[in-house]
Structure 1
Amino acid sequence: MSERISDVEVVAPNFKRQLSGVTSTIVQLIPLQRQLGLGIATLGPGLPDGLPKFGWSSLPQLWQRPKRRAHRIWHARRNNEMVAGVIMRDLLRMPLRLVFTSAAQRNHKPFTKWLIRRMDAVIATSARSGSYLEVPHTVVMHGVDTKRFHPPQTAEDEFTASGLPGRYAIGCFGRVRHQKGTDLFVEAMIALLPDYPEWTAIITGRTTAEHKSFENDLKARIAEAGLADRILFLGEVPDIKVWYRRLSLYVAPSRNEGFGLTPLEAMASRTAVVASDAGAYAEMIEPGRTGAVVTAGDGAALQEAIRRYLADPDLAAIHGKNGLAHVREHFPLEKEAAAITAVYEQVFASGGRTMVGNAS
């Protein structure tokens, strides 16, 4: 859907062709921000046809001010997008203000720090990522689409519809690799499932060629333990949402993570969560109420946290119900869209190059 540049107040560039978490964020947020009355469009490859956008040939029109504002906002989420924004604003003198969203949970390299200092506003996706920033910033955590991710509504959403053995399901979703802690989940299942015959473990997600031997080793260990019918690799499934609804417990055992949306998707599906403290997981979960959080990479702690739920499915159901309420109150996608739009309004109102933000 092509946009007139004069109507575009915010540009959300996407300088990556392959689907990524950043791309998914842009795709989900822009329609909600437009519902708030914001003139926002994107630029770049790999985006749905229905998303408001403009082409590279229209870039020179960014020298013209938008109809309703003194300048436009260029909202970068990657380094190369920040570089483009700095060039257009500072060298080409386009009437732009620059916003950057940082999800990294590590010390930034000197060039990245220099770019960040050139921004007019910085958003951190979690308090943890904000702790690595040396500039004022606003924390806006990602949200989840509670219309797409919702509790069971039909018989198809029940675990029995899967045709798999057992009464209860425990799942670990996402790319199969060491970083994601798939092996920690498998080790916990090999240790626990013999004591809890009503539970079946499900692993979904893509395994790239470089991680195929990692997956094969896990499958061999499962077969050796005699649990090949109860610890299942389903690969990439057509609709992950229904599998969240079929679970009684979701496990996110990542060793490291950028942000990590899967616990929110699980809780929005009324599923209890056990997670490591990687990424923003610890900022999503209320231990003892919606799930449990353990130290990343600690397989023994992960196993014991899971055991509590396998031994008491009613507790998993209670924490799943609490998680649903928690997500609906604190993490709806609409809340993220509104908070980012509020940052834009601060930038529009500031006029100059003073960095806006709520924390330093």
Structure 2
Amino acid sequence: MRDVVVVAPNFKKRLSGVTSTIIQLVPFQARSLGIATLGPGLPAGLRKMRWWQVPALLRRPRGKPFRIWHARRNTEMIGGLVLRHLFRAPMRLVFTSAAQREHKTFTRWLIRRMDAVVATSSRSGAFLKVPHKVVRHGVDLERFHPPRGNDDEWQVAGLPGRYGIGCFGRIRHQKGTDLFVDAMIALLPRYPEWCAVVLGRVTADNRGFADELKARVKRAGLEERIVFLGEVPDARPWYRRITLCVAPSRNEGFGLTPLEAMASQTAVVASDAGAYAELIREGETGHVTPAGDGEALSRAIETYMADPALAKAHGAAGLEHVRAHFALEREAEGLRAVYEELWQK
């Protein structure tokens, strides 16, 4: 524990976008930094503190005047404040905000008590009322990569057609899954070589929403060409098998799906929710449409269905774009600069 100079708490057991960020980012940070996670819902491979080790945070770490407590949720900001002010732990508090909405009064109060604040995009930074730095998320280019073999071919999926279109993420209204399904119902009859897949978990409160989407597909007679795969053990091969990835969210924090798709050499059509518009080069690596606009989404998708070669070209351009600007190492370096500035002060 003396060598742990940064703590990345995760106070939410169920998998979320924040948890996914921690899982991907911390191993890269650990290559050059003494960092450990704290909390439930994290895989065994991460370097983790145990709850019984929390009292060790009351002592200074080796080689630094204090530790960094890097929070990403309100509960984690509260935990850091309790440790610092109630138990006098030698630490400074960093908060990363991905939200693209006005923060509630209590959240603003918490944010004002942070020593440094990070925004994951320019848009999320616009909602912060305190000085901050923009450090965009990156993607692990070792885990997400272009096709390398037969298992990455669409034909391996055992689904009809020559080309696949995928929509990834939890099935819910916020994610715009219905916009994707409606676009597929309208377009697939005109493009017999294409097939659509929907990957993602359905929570209990969204079961009715998902059932209605499946009923729409059945009424259209497209059950074999719009396939709900559910929550698959590993979505990465599907990014490589499809020719086009669609991210139709109505509302998003940051949204890693376009980066994961482009790193897999797949073209992207996305709404302008979250940071999507900051990730995609319009007309070069994909297309961006207004959030919630189903007609615009369908038009952008049809551009690629009518010209699969264009989708392949934009997929290749997306791979180069991600490698140049969104490698996970860049995010780790950006956060390290925030930490070092605090330590130097």
**TM > 0.5:** yes
2:202 to 203, 207, 228: 207
What displacement does 1:173 show?
1.3
Query: Among residues 206, 210, 228, which one is paired with 1:233 in the alignment?
Result: 228
Q: Give TM-score, length-normalised by structure 1.
A: 0.93
The CA RMSD measured in Å over matched residues stands at 1.3
Question: Shift in Å at residue 57 of structure 1?
Answer: 2.5
Match of 2:237 in 1: 242
Q: 1:65 aligned to 2:60?
A: yes
| Distance apart, 1:59 and its partner CA | 2.4
Alignment of 1:84-233 (within 5 A): 84-233=79-228
Distance 1:118 1:243, change over 3 A: same
Which residue is 1:358 aligned to? none
What 5-or-longer segments of structure 2 have no aligned partner? Answer: none
Q: Which runs of 5 or more residues in structure 1 are unaligned?
A: 351-360
Q: Distance in 2 between matches of 1:146 and 1:266?
A: 11
Tell me the secondary structure at the aligned position of residue 237 of structure 1. Answer: coil
Give distance in 2, aligned partners of 1:331 and 1:226. 40
Runs of 4+ in 1 over 3 A off after TM superposition: none
CA distance in 2, matches of 1:216, 1:34: 43
TM-aligned CA deviation for residue 183 of structure 1: 0.9
Q: What is aligned with 1:262?
A: 257
TM-score normalised according to structure 2 size: 0.97
1:321 is matched with which residue?
A: 316
Shift, 1:90, TM fit:
2.6
Post-superposition offset of 1:22: 1.7
CA 220–62 in structure 1, closer or farther in 2 if over 3 Å, else same: closer
Question: How far apart in 2 are the matches of 1:115 and 1:152?
Answer: 44
SS at match of 2:2: helix
Instruction: Specify the code of the residue in structure 1 equivalent to 2:118.
Output: I
**Is 1:11 paired with 2:2?**
no
Q: Give 1:128 deviation, angstroms.
A: 0.8
Compare 64-73 and 14-23 and name the one that shifted more. 14-23
Amino acid corresponding to residue 22 of structure 1 in structure 2: V
The worse-fitting range, judged by mean Cα deviation, of 134-143 and 18-27 is: 18-27
Which is worse superposed, 173-182 or 282-291?
173-182
Q: Return the offset for 1:269.
A: 0.6
Cα shift readout 1:169-217 (whole Å, capped 9, x = no counterpart): 1111111111111111111111111111111111111122322222222
Distance 1:178 1:23 in 2: 21
Counting aligned pairs with the same residue, the percent is: 66
User: For residue 62 of structure 2, what is the amino acid of its counterpart?
Assistant: K
Aligned length in residues: 345
1:124 is displaced (CA, Å) by 0.6
Alignment of 1:300-311 (within 5 A): 300-311=295-306
- Equivalent AA in structure 1 for residue 24 of structure 2: Q
Partner deviation per Cα, 1:133-174 (whole Å, 9 max, x = no partner): 011111111111111111111111010111211111111111
